[in-house]
Amino acid sequence: MTDETKTPDKFTIINELARRRGFFWQSYEIYGGASGFVTYGSLGARLKQNIEKKLRELFVNKLGILEIDSPIIAPSKVFEASGHVDHFKELMVECLKCKRQFRADNLLREFAKIGESEAEKLSLKEVKEAIEKHEIRCPECGGTFGEPKYFLIMFKTTIGPYSDAVGYGRPEAAQGIFVEFRHLYEMAREKLPFGVIQIGHALRNEISPRQGLIRWREFTIADLEFFFDPEEPNCYLLKDFENETLPLVLAENKLRGSEEIVKVTVKEALTKGYIKAEWQAVFMALAKKLLVDFGVPAEKQRFIEKLPWEKAHYAVQSFDQEICVERWGWFEVSGHAYRTDYDLKRHMQFSGVDMRVFKEYEKPVERKRTVVKPLMAKLGPVFKEDAANVAEMLSEADPEEVEASIKKNGYYMLGKCKVLPEYIEIACQKVKERGRKFVPHVVEPSFGSDRLVYVTLEYAYRVKDGRAILSFPRDVAPIQVGVYPLVSKNGLPERTLQIHKTLLDEGFMAEYDEAGSIGRRYARADEIGVPLGITVDYDTLKDNTVTVRDRDSWKQVRSRVEELPQLLRKYFRWKADFEDLGKPFKG
Q: Output the DSSP codes for 4-39.
A: TTSPPPHHHHHHHHHHHHTSEEETTGGGT--TT-EE
- Domain residue spans in the chain? 32-74+158-342+444-448, 90-151, 357-435, 479-584
Considering the domain 479-584 in this protein, what is its CATH number? 3.40.50.800
Q: Write out pLDDT tens, residues 162-221.
A: 778 999 999 999 999 999 999 999 999 999 999 999 999 999 988 877 666 777 899 999
**Cα distances (angstroms) measured from residue 331 to each of 23, 221, 354, 440, 451:** 22, 16, 39, 31, 9
Report the DSSP pairing between strands 66-67 and 194-203: parallel
Q: What is the pLDDT of residue 2?
A: 46
The phi and psi torsions of 89 (rounded to 5 degrees) equal: -135, 150
- CB count within 10 Å of CB 580 equals 11
Alpha helices by DSSP H, 315-462: 342-351, 376-383, 387-395, 399-409, 449-460
369, β-bridge pairs:
429
Q: What is the pLDDT of residue 396?
A: 80
d(CA 147, CA 141) in angstroms, rounded, equals 18
The count of residues in the chain is 587
Q: What is the pLDDT of residue 212?
A: 64
Q: Hey, what CATH class is 90-151 in?
A: alpha beta
CA-based angle 273:224:444, to the nearest 5?
25
Q: What is the pLDDT of residue 269?
A: 98
Q: Which residues of the chain have pLDDT under 50?
A: 1-2
Task: Name the nearest CA neighbour of 267 among 252, 258, 259, 278.
Answer: 278
Q: What is the pLDDT of residue 177?
A: 98
Can you give the pTM of this predicted structure? 0.86
d(CA 456, CA 33) in angstroms, rounded, equals 25
d(CA 47, CA 470) in angstroms, rounded, equals 12
To the question of domain 32-74+158-342+444-448 being in CATH 1.10.1240.10, the answer is no
Handedness of CA 19, 22, 26, 29 (dihedral sign): positive
User: Are residues 331 and 323 in contact, defined by beta-carbon separation less than 8 angstroms?
Assistant: yes
Which residues lie below 8 Å from residue 214, measured CB to CB, with a gap of 6+?
Answer: 328, 331, 450, 451, 454
d(CA 469, CA 533) in angstroms, rounded, equals 14
Q: What is the pLDDT of residue 353?
A: 92
Q: What is the pLDDT of residue 371?
A: 84
User: Are residues 504 and 482 in contact, defined by beta-carbon separation less than 8 angstroms?
Assistant: no
- Residue 215 burial (CB < 10 Å; 0-12/13-18/19+)? middle
**DSSP-derived 3-state class of residue 228:** strand
User: Are residues 285 and 447 in contact, defined by beta-carbon separation less than 8 angstroms?
Assistant: no
Query: Could you report how far apart the first and last alpha carbons of the chain are, in Å?
Result: 44
Report the b/e string of 141-164 with b at 16+ CB within 10 A. Answer: eebebeebeebbbbbeeeeeeeee
**Cα distances (angstroms) measured from residue 569 to each of 80, 512, 566:** 50, 19, 5
The phi and psi torsions of 307 (rounded to 5 degrees) equal: -75, 165
Report the b/e string of 77-91 with b at 16+ CB within 10 A. Answer: bbbebbebbeebebb
User: Are residues 9 and 327 in contact, defined by beta-carbon separation less than 8 angstroms?
Assistant: yes
Q: What is the DSSP letter of 95?
A: B
Task: Name the nearest CA neighbour of 390 among 358, 368, 412.
Answer: 412
